[in-house]
Structure 1
Amino acid sequence: MKELSRVKPSIKILSDEEIKNIDRLSRDILTKVCFICEDEEAVAIFAGGGAKVQADGKLVYLTDKMIDDAVKASVPAVELHGRGGRSPLHVGGDNLYFGTTGFATNYLDFETGEYRQSTSEDVIEVMKLCEQLDPPDYILPSVGATDVEPDYADLYEIKAGMLYTSKHIEAQAKDIVNARKIIKMAEYIAGGEENLKKAPFFSFLVTLTSPLHHRSDSMQLIIESAKYGIPLFIESGPMAGATSPVTLTETIALANAELLSSIVLAKLVKPSAPVIYASWARVINMKNGNVSVGCPEFGMLRIATTQMGKYYNLPTGGGANLSDSLALDHQLGAEQCATSLLPALSGINMAQGMGLLAGMNAVSAETMVLASEVANYVKRIKDGIGVDMSCEGFDLIKEVGPRGDFISTDHTLTHFRKELWGRTIFDCSAVKGEKRHLETNVIKNAIEKKKKVMSKYKPIEVPAGAEAALEKIIRG
């Protein structure tokens, strides 16, 4: 069957005029309100590019031209490489990839039914599980190594990624010292600096502080990554009602301003620096003061920030597949689906959050399995419907005729795997007499699938003595 076109669903929340208004508001923030920059080198780079810096050397005012030049220097797609023969992820256009995020410090252990502090062993086990599940398409360590000294925790989390997965890794560095160690570790695994630069198998996550406060560590990480050519996943996560105005339009504008100023810095350092525009703009729960990521506004903000990123012709990313629930229950499933589907239909390229629950404060392996099922469910919707106007479909219907069936045709056998989504843990059994419907089958299925995929894990190929070599770099 020859497909002439494929109809894919999409969703928007901002009109073209509203996007332009938010862009203008963001520019007014950067040119008239200013932002604080704690890093002297970054301030000097901004000033060298035409920014006005006040006498104290920390308050920076950009110009419209600086923003325009940075946007013009940006590219609509970034390639993220893996290892072991994996095809690179083409982040841009209409492509959708689901990934993990972190670094939660609580682990929900389904063997005991209790929460506990996460450990470096949990980091390794979750990394192995993520290597086996599909998706995630890329991996940011989702669980923290709380049994390691805080100054080294980020390094041990990335070490686990380098040793136990061949998928693209997103790294977060505590400071520039650790960022350079991560680069050195990656050079060792890649077989040298030139090999790493040709196909960087990791990117750096840069988290910004709202409102309008650029920390020294985040600015240094942008500068170092841009110089080296390592892809940058820059995200802004203002909280409506707390670190941004409670009104969503102004929250979107603030997040956009913070992202634009960071992209300006990266492009001033190196115009070809690969940058992904991402946002975790969210809301605060006015009843208890907790951050909420399972609410409808979280998904709505993902649509809007994705539209803003695409307005600047940038690859996009942000939070998705998340829940505020404390358990693997109906709430978790509903919120995972909603916070996955809305960003996906908006055209987001990198949707990350798989495996997290309890408002991003915890991880469980079974939740990761459910998140993978939800992600594939959403990917199928995103893939749309192939519209074919050839004679094949008509001829088949004519051949079978009235009151016939299509289950036994070669056409069904040929096309059903591509056309129909195949579930792995969601239950669609028929109604039976026993009280089977009272059981939480999806939890049992998730546990069974986790055990099955983990039993098939095979160590990835790394240089001999890699663990000792990485340990030496970490502690050096």
Structure 2
Amino acid sequence: MEYLTKSEIAEIHDTSLKILDEVGMKWDNEEALKIFDNHGADVDFHEKIVKIPPDMVEKSIETTPSECTLYSRNKEYDIPMEDGEINFGPFGYANFVRDPETGKRREATAEDLRKLTKLVDTIDDWNFQYLQVTPQDVDPKINYLIAHAIQLKNSEKHLVAAGTSKRIVEDTVQIAKAISEDFDERPFLSFDHLTVPPLTEEKSTSAGLVEAAKRGLPVLVSEGVMAGSTSPVTLAGALAQSSAGALGALTLVQLINPGTPTLYGSFARIMDMKRGTVSMGGPEWILLKKAWSDLAEFYDLPNWYGCMLNDAKIVDAQAGYEKALSCLLASFSKKGLMVQCATIDQDRMCDFGNILVNKEISEAVLRIKRGFEVNENTLALNVIKDVGPGGSFMSTQHTLDNYKNIAWEPELSERGSYEDWEKKGEKTLYDKALTESLDRIESHQSPEIPEEKERKINEIIKEAKEDGEKL
């Protein structure tokens, strides 16, 4: 399913190259500036502006693997980034949660993150973890490091970590190595990196990008433009600028360590000019994501972006249609990592029940994406002849043999009679999702961490806290 034409893709690509070559990017990082300079880019060290020539960008795209595997501690959860493979998982960085007991908004805690990590661990088809919330009850200098430790201790799935500084990359790797001696052979970490729009790289986060690239760890690059605020309001212009920012970061990674797995991503969205807020559930968000997957296919790069984000403040009908539309279009990417949020309220608040609502939607969408076969068995002419006019197909061997492979069975959605629904307490889909989420958290056993490994992790966190550096 293509949204942009080939000529439109070529125009956007050409514009992105011109942005990087003629406008450039600001890199507030001396090491990054020197790397670009050593490879022949036009670097203004005083203004910290790097103008990247088109051939350097295109060579970097060529050295970026078109396919890769994101490893997990448990091999069952390895993620193949290859054609035809779409992988769903969580996202967020929310500062607030909707309390599952009171229904009121409050600040997110480390315990919330532990529970959310356990919940995602119960979803077999979601093969990676992401920071659903940023704990607000811990030392803010090291909250990301504490969050990474929580997730690494409570899940054997791949972790997409926050690459906010050189130190956070180093210490998160040390925690991962303390947990598993196999990390060097099977690194189960990647780091996400967000260019600050318009076209700016901050000192700390770019240092994290450099460190991850030196280690050859997978990185997820993107520029989260807001059309009308930090990029042109026109969607083509927003897309071209967002792609330029992502390609600029990708180029640095490949200059440092050619062949490093790099996922090409976007969080392009649009401003709501009437309210002064950003829209993360409207049709423009969805259009930008589908167009982005067309660009990723043009570059033959692994793709990643957020879907199922909401402007809605609770999990209601608005949240439902926003999720379904964005998830459906996202699924038609050729290959990629689809980070679907447990968040509502424009990515600010996490909701425990929301995660299983997202799971249900993503499963339905993947069933749509799978389509159906047309062959002698599925056309079933002989079965139609045997049953004949006025007959029933329910008891035929053909139905028994094929039903489970054809029909998707929801876990939460209501398909019974109205009377049955009344007898079960007239529960909404969200009611059932929240109850099931809390039950899963209560019953799920996280992987055991030996005492000596726990002690080593605590030492790494303690040293980081004592150094006083913001991670």
| TM-score (normalizing by structure 1) | 0.93
Residue 43 of structure 1 contacts residue 60 of structure 1 at CA under 8 Å; is this kept in 2?
A: yes
What is the aligned partner in structure 2 of residue 303 from structure 1?
290
Q: Give aligned pairs, total.
A: 463
What is the aligned partner in structure 1 of residue 395 from structure 2?
408
The letter for the 1-side match of 2:135 is A
What is the aligned partner in structure 2 of residue 136 from structure 1?
126
Listed as ranges, the gaps of 5+ residues in structure 1 are 1-9
Residue 34 of structure 1 contacts residue 61 of structure 1 at CA under 8 Å; is this kept in 2?
A: yes
Overall identity of the aligned pairs, in %? 28
Query: 2: distance between equivalents of 1:458 and 1:438?
Result: 30
Query: 2: distance between equivalents of 1:304 and 1:149?
Result: 40
Question: Secondary structure of the residue that 1:107 maps to in structure 2?
Answer: strand
What is the aligned partner in structure 2 of residue 218 from structure 1?
205
C-alpha deviation, 1:421, in angstroms: 0.8
CA-to-partner distance for each residue in 1:220-263, whole Å, 9 max, x for gaps? 22221122121111121100011001000000000110111111
Residue 321 of structure 1 contacts residue 351 of structure 1 at CA under 8 Å; is this kept in 2?
A: no
385-394 vs 114-123, greater mean Cα deviation: 385-394
1:19 paired to 2:6: no
Query: 2: distance between equivalents of 1:398 and 1:31?
Result: 67
Query: 1: distance between equivalents of 2:326 and 2:108?
Result: 25
Of 344, 356, 377, the match for 1:369 = 356
Q: 1:137 to 1:433 in 2, by over 3 A?
A: closer
Residue 197 of structure 1 contacts residue 229 of structure 1 at CA under 8 Å; is this kept in 2?
A: no
CA-to-partner distance for each residue in 1:407-457, whole Å, 9 max, x for gaps? 222332332222111101111122349978994521221123223323431
Residue 132 of structure 2 contacts residue 350 of structure 2 at CA under 8 Å; is this kept in 1?
A: yes
| TM-score (normalizing by structure 2) | 0.94
What is the aligned partner in structure 2 of residue 345 from structure 1?
332
Q: 1:15 to 1:392 in 2, by over 3 A?
A: closer
Of 388, 406, 414, the match for 1:419 = 406
Of 227, 234, 238, the match for 1:251 = 238
Q: 1:391 to 1:280 in 2, by over 3 A?
A: closer
CA-to-partner distance for each residue in 1:103-153, whole Å, 9 max, x for gaps? 101010131120000100001000001101244331101011100111111
1:42 paired to 2:29: no
Query: 2: distance between equivalents of 1:454 and 1:440?
Result: 20
C-alpha deviation, 1:403, in angstroms: 2.3
Of 102, 113, 117, the match for 1:112 = 102
Query: 2: distance between equivalents of 1:463 and 1:298?
Result: 44
Query: 2: distance between equivalents of 1:435 and 1:129?
Result: 28
What is the aligned partner in structure 2 of residue 28 from structure 1?
18
What is the aligned partner in structure 2 of residue 82 from structure 1?
72
What is the aligned partner in structure 2 of residue 206 from structure 1?
193
Q: 1:401 to 1:117 in 2, by over 3 A?
A: same
The letter for the 2-side match of 1:430 is S
Q: 1:438 to 1:345 in 2, by over 3 A?
A: farther
Of 54, 57, 70, the match for 2:44 = 54
C-alpha deviation, 1:344, in angstroms: 1.1
Residue 86 of structure 2 contacts residue 333 of structure 2 at CA under 8 Å; is this kept in 1?
A: no
C-alpha deviation, 1:292, in angstroms: 1.0
The letter for the 1-side match of 2:8 is E
What is the aligned partner in structure 1 of residue 114 from structure 2?
124
CA-to-partner distance for each residue in 1:49-75, whole Å, 9 max, x for gaps? 110112515111111110121011122
The letter for the 2-side match of 1:259 is A
Of 153, 156, 160, the match for 1:163 = 153
Question: Secondary structure of the residue that 1:104 maps to in structure 2?
Answer: coil
1:98 paired to 2:88: yes
Query: 2: distance between equivalents of 1:243 and 1:36?
Result: 14
1:152 paired to 2:139: no
C-alpha deviation, 1:154, in angstroms: 0.4
What is the aligned partner in structure 2 of residue 278 from structure 1?
265
C-alpha deviation, 1:463, in angstroms: 4.0
Of 268, 274, 278, the match for 1:291 = 278
C-alpha deviation, 1:385, in angstroms: 1.2
Q: 1:230 to 1:351 in 2, by over 3 A?
A: same
Of 57, 62, 66, the match for 1:67 = 57
C-alpha deviation, 1:400, in angstroms: 2.6
